Amino acid sequence: MEIKDKVALITGGASGIGRAVAMDLAQRGVKAIALVDLTDQAHQVADEINNRDGNTIVEVFTGDVVDSAFREHVYDSMSEKHGVVNICIPAAGIIRDDLAVRVDKETGKAKVYPLETFRLLVEVDFIAPIYWAIEMLARIAEDRYQQGLRRWAAAEKIQGTVIFIGSVASQGNKGQIAYASSKAGLAGAASTLMKEAIFHGVRFGVIHPGFTDTPILQAMGEEYVNKYVLPDTQLGRLIRPEEIADAICFMISNSAVSGELWADAGWHPPA
């Protein structure tokens, strides 16, 4: 699908992969970008892009990605000003690592991973991305119906693309029961939605980044990275967010690419 002159929406756009994708899409000529984030830091990203290009193509929406009313507001606003959103990158995510079961050395009692934390991870990292994607699909389907169009035909060209942000942790990784489960689930969602959404001309895919130099990873600390990440990474360094953004744009623009793309720098979960 052509990126130029399309309308894009990115959640988690204030930093990391989301920020890098916004920068890359702007360079490739998108008409408008909705930058969605929980923090006001997204305004700095928007200013950087808008000032660089001399056009106000980025609009910031501050709110919680699990809020359905907020989600609808963002799509309504973008549709009214710029037309139907064509590109959706739901990149917002959180991490809450811990072992599934941890035994207290003093009492001998086992502590299990908190259910409320698991549910939070699923809401943010699994359910929210799916519903931001489904919202775009619904808007495209309605727009086509209003134009008298039904089943999509290849001659019409691709109408929209969604790229979910998976993770190499989806293969299973110690201490990431909730995170790994959520990211693995996105692959099943994308595969299912692709089968349904192509009726309306919308593609779905998943990129699985390896350990990328983002605020989430930086919070783990340099010692953790040097001890547990780099020894199992063939590339010998962390992945740059810009490298993942470039891969995402490749997945958007090359309609022959489907399914899952692994951008893992050669990292695999240790046995």
Residue ranges of alpha helices (H) inside the chain are 16-27, 42-53, 68-82, 115-122, 128-146, 177-197, 215-218, 222-224, 241-253
Residue 271: predicted pLDDT: 62
Structure tokens at 182: 């959520």
Which amino acid, residue 146? Answer: Q
- Residue 111: inside a domain: yes
The whole-number pLDDT of residue 26 equals 96
Total-model pTM: 0.94
With respect to residue 179, please indicate whether it lies within any of the assigned structural domains. Answer: yes
pLDDT of residue 226: 82
Residue 125 domain boundaries: 7-263
Rounded Cα distance, 7 and 41, in Å? 21
| pLDDT given at position 269 | 65
> What pLDDT is stored for residue 224 in this prediction?
77
Alpha-carbon distances, residue 124 vs 121, 177, 192, 215, 223 (angstroms): 5, 15, 20, 17, 27
- Asked if 61 contacts 35 with a C-beta cutoff of 8 angstroms, the reply is yes
How high is the pLDDT of residue 202? 98
pLDDT tens for the chain, 271 residues long, are: 999 999 999 999 999 999 999 999 999 999 999 999 999 999 999 999 999 867 889 999 999 999 999 999 999 999 999 999 999 999 999 999 999 999 999 999 999 999 999 999 999 999 999 999 999 999 999 999 999 999 999 999 999 999 999 999 898 888 999 999 999 999 999 999 999 999 999 999 999 998 898 877 777 778 878 887 888 788 888 889 999 999 999 999 999 998 899 998 887 766 6
How many structural domains does the chain have?
1
93 is a domain residue? yes
Q: Is residue 221 part of a domain?
A: yes
The secondary structure of residue 232, as a DSSP letter, is G
Q: What distance in Å separates the CA atoms of residue 207 and residue 168, rounded to the nearest whole number?
A: 9
Asked if residue 270 belongs to a domain, the reply is no
User: Which pLDDT score, from 0 to 100, does residue 196 have?
Assistant: 97
Domain contains 271: no
Query: Is the CB of residue 67 less than 8 Å from the CB of residue 132?
Result: no
* CATH number of 11's domain: 3.40.50.720
Flag whether 124 is in a domain: yes
Q: State the distance between the two ends of the chain, measured CA to CA, in whole angstroms.
A: 39
Q: Is residue 13 part of a domain?
A: yes
